[in-house]
Structure 1
Amino acid sequence: MDDIARIAFDHAPVGIVMTRHRVIEQCNTTFCDLSGYASAALLGQSFRMLYGSEAEFNQIRDIGLEPLRRAGAYADERMLRHAQGHAIWCRFRARTLTPQDPLARIVMSFAPIAPRSDGPALTARERQVVTWLARGKTSKEIAQVLGLSPRTIEDVRARLMRKFDVRNTGLLLARLSDLGQ
C-alpha cells in the first residue's frame, strides 16, 4: 500500500478490518481506537476475542453466513467487547471477497453508535436484548444465547417497553430506529 492509501486506510472515519477465516490480518487505527487494542495485539488473533462468549461468536457467524454467501454482503448492529471489558454498540458491515467460501476473506467496517440525547439511554443489557429482538429472536432464544433465564429477558423487554412507552416489540424497534439507538 502506498503512503497516501495507508494514511486513508488508517484514518478512515470507520474501523476497517480484513480477516481470513475470522482471524484478523489487517486493521486500521480507527478500529484499534474503537476496540481499545493496539494493532499488534489484534493481528493474527481470532475475532473471538471481541465477543463475550464462544456462543455469541458462533451465533454472529451463523446469522451472517447465508447473506454473505447469497449476496456477498451483510450488515447489522452488534456489541463488541472493548479491551477494558465493556461493550461497544456498533454498526457492522461486511463484504466477502470469496462468496463460495464466505469466511475465507472478508472486509469489515465498524462504526460506533453513540446514544442520542433526545431519547432514553439504553444499558448494555438492554442493547444486547434489542439486538437479538431486531433479529427476530424470542425471549427464550435470547436467553439461551446470552446465558440468562427467559424471565430475565422478559423483564428487560418489559422495562424497555415502559421506558419507550410502547406496547409491543414491533413498536419498540420502530421507536429505537427513529431515535437512532
Structure 2
Amino acid sequence: MTPMDLAFMHAPTGLALTENRIVRQCNLRFAEMFGDQVDAFTDMPLERLYPSLKDYEKVERVGGDRLRKTGRYEDERIMRRLNGDLFWCRVRGTSLTPETPFKQGVWSFADLSAERPVVALTPRERDVAILTCQGRTSKEIGLMLNLSYRTVEAHRARLLQKFGARKLPELVAKFSGMPL
C-alpha cells in the first residue's frame, strides 16, 4: 500500500469514493460506522444507507443543486446502519464533476450518535418541528398544515417532552442540524 492508500484506509473519519451514488471504495471507519467489512460496501448503492427512499431522493435534489453551484455539499442527517439502526451523521462531499454532480464524488461521514441521539418523530411532528425552526407561530403553522393552533400546540408539547426541552427556544436549539 502506498502512503496515500494507508492514509485513506486509516483516516479517523469515514470516507467513500462514489460514482453515481454507488460506493466504489470506502475506508475502515466508514465500514465500521455502517456495520460491515470494507469489501461489503464495494458497489453498494448509497440508497441502502438512508432511512427511506424519500430521504435519499431529497438529498439528491437539494444536494445536487448545491453541488452544481459550488462543487461541495454538507449537512447533518439521519442515516441507517446495515443492521437497521438509525444514527445522526455529518456528511460532507465534493463532486469531482460538478456539471454532473453525482457522477464522481469524495464523501466524508462522521457519526454524531454520541452527542445527538435519534428521536422518533411522526411525520406531523416533523412538519411542526421544521416550521417551528423557521420561526412560524402556532397559528401560522396551523394554517399551513390545515390544523387548529391548539393541535399545533399539542404537537409542540410532545416535541418539548421528546427532546427534554423546557421552552420553545431550547427546543429549536436542539433541532439544530436537523435536515430541512
TM-score by length of 2: 0.73
Q: Give % identity.
A: 30
Q: How far did 1:125 drift?
A: 1.5
Q: How far did 1:161 drift?
A: 2.5
Q: Distance in 2 between matches of 1:7 and 1:111?
A: 19
State the SS of the aligned residue for 1:125.
coil
Q: Distance in 1 between matches of 2:119 and 2:103?
A: 31
Deviation beyond 4 Å, 4+ runs, structure 1: 153-157, 175-178
The corresponding residue for 2:33 is: 34
Q: Encode CA deviations 1:135-179: one digit per residue, 9 max, x unaligned.
A: 96x989xxxxxxxxxxxx9866533334211226xx53334549x
Contact 1:87 1:124 in 2 (8 A): no
Q: Distance in 2 between matches of 1:69 and 1:18?
A: 18
Q: Distance in 2 between matches of 1:10 and 1:155?
A: 48
Unaligned segments of structure 2, at least 5 residues: 143-151
Distance 1:10 1:76, change over 3 A: same
Q: How far did 1:49 drift?
A: 0.9
Distance 1:57 1:177, change over 3 A: closer
Q: Residue type of the partner of 1:101?
A: T
Q: Encode CA deviations 1:25-69: one digit per residue, 9 max, x unaligned.
A: 110000000000222221111111111222221112112111111
Q: Distance in 1 between matches of 2:26 and 2:175?
A: 30
TM-score by length of 1: 0.73
Q: CA RMSD in A?
A: 3.3
Give the number of aligned pairs.
158
The corresponding residue for 1:19 is: 18
- State which structure, 1 or 2, has the greater radius of gyration over its C-alpha atoms: 2
Q: Residue type of the partner of 1:165?
A: R
Q: Distance in 1 between matches of 2:153 and 2:106?
A: 36
